Amino acid sequence: MLKLLAVDGIDAEIQAHYRLIASVKDTIGMHTHDFFELFLILKGSVVHVINGNRQLLQENTLVFIRDRDVHYYEQTDGDCQFINLSFHREVLDELIAFLGEGFPSDWLLVPDMPPSTLLSKTEKEYVRYRLDQLSLIPQEKKLSVKAEVRAILTDLFSRYIKAKDDPVDLTGQPEWFRTLCKEARKKEHFTRGTAALVQLSGKSHAYVCRMFKQCLGMSPTQYINELRLSYAENLLLNTDMDILEISMEIGLDNVSYFYDLFKRKHGLTPHRYRQFGSAHR
């Protein structure tokens, strides 16, 4: 498989590279790379195949790509135009350090699928405006371009590339409990259910249940299921996985139970939720 290297295509002083991609025909096949990317769909749509999943990306979608993702683009009936900003790992590390502990870096780097955000038309135009500023700086002024890249990324990540809110407010809860809830958000934990919470906490099942009821007014199972359903929503809207696969992916072997949980939360079956989401994107 082709691996693109920053040393071959990104200026070492600027540590970033901005370009307009006029057509899907101008992209390459399956590849990975040792740098990160942000890309924004300006016109049309494209099938984005990433980490074994197929996403139909519509106009105005902003996508973050990690340095471990494997992806390529398939042309749809029409064509697609997008802009791409590639940048070194060091740039991302500095960004995360600057934004501090409140920034959800685990949400960016840990999940199997990277985050994507559907912007409004106004937001899309703003992102394009910010990125276009890079082309207005003379390329020989490398330090100025480097500074602008960092300013732009700080702005865009803090505005648009962020985690969904935790399903509950953990303010004022014991430190071990807040840590436990944070760990539960990782896929390798919430897919295992309540047993993972008990194991991570190092406390008894009865004590964990009592603390969830006392602190959050819900059972550990209810908390885990909120995380599972949030992950399932993303898979329904951004992949072509079938319902059974998604149920298994979130740790529910009983697809009927998955349907029941999902319908109680949304008033729609997973299938209707996917149809409704696609029609309104």
Residue 46: CATH number of its domain: 2.60.120.280
pTM metric for this prediction: 0.59
The number of folded domains in the chain is: 2
Q: Does one domain contain both 89 and 179?
A: no
Q: Does one domain contain both 62 and 149?
A: yes
Range(s) of the domain holding residue 17: 2-159
Q: Does one domain contain both 195 and 141?
A: no
Task: Kindly indicate the confidence band of residue 179, based on its pLDDT and cuts at 50, 70 and 90.
Answer: confident
Q: Does one domain contain both 153 and 243?
A: no
164 part of a folded domain:
no
**Percentage, residues of the chain above pLDDT 90:** 56
Q: Does one domain contain both 122 and 252?
A: no
More confident residue, 69 or 114: 69
For 258-264, the CB contacts below 8 A with 24+ separation are 258/232, 261/225, 261/228, 261/229, 262/229, 262/232
Using the 3D structure, point to which of 132, 159, 186 is the last residue of a domain. 159
State yes or no: pLDDT of 88 exceeds 70. Answer: yes
Task: Kindly indicate the confidence band of residue 278, based on its pLDDT and cuts at 50, 70 and 90.
Answer: low
Least confident of 82-91, 166-175, 262-271: 166-175
Using left for φ > 0, alpha for ψ between -120 and 50, and beta otherwise, residue 100 falls in: left
Residue 265: CATH number of its domain: 1.10.10.60
Q: Does one domain contain both 6 and 141?
A: yes
Q: Does one domain contain both 116 and 200?
A: no
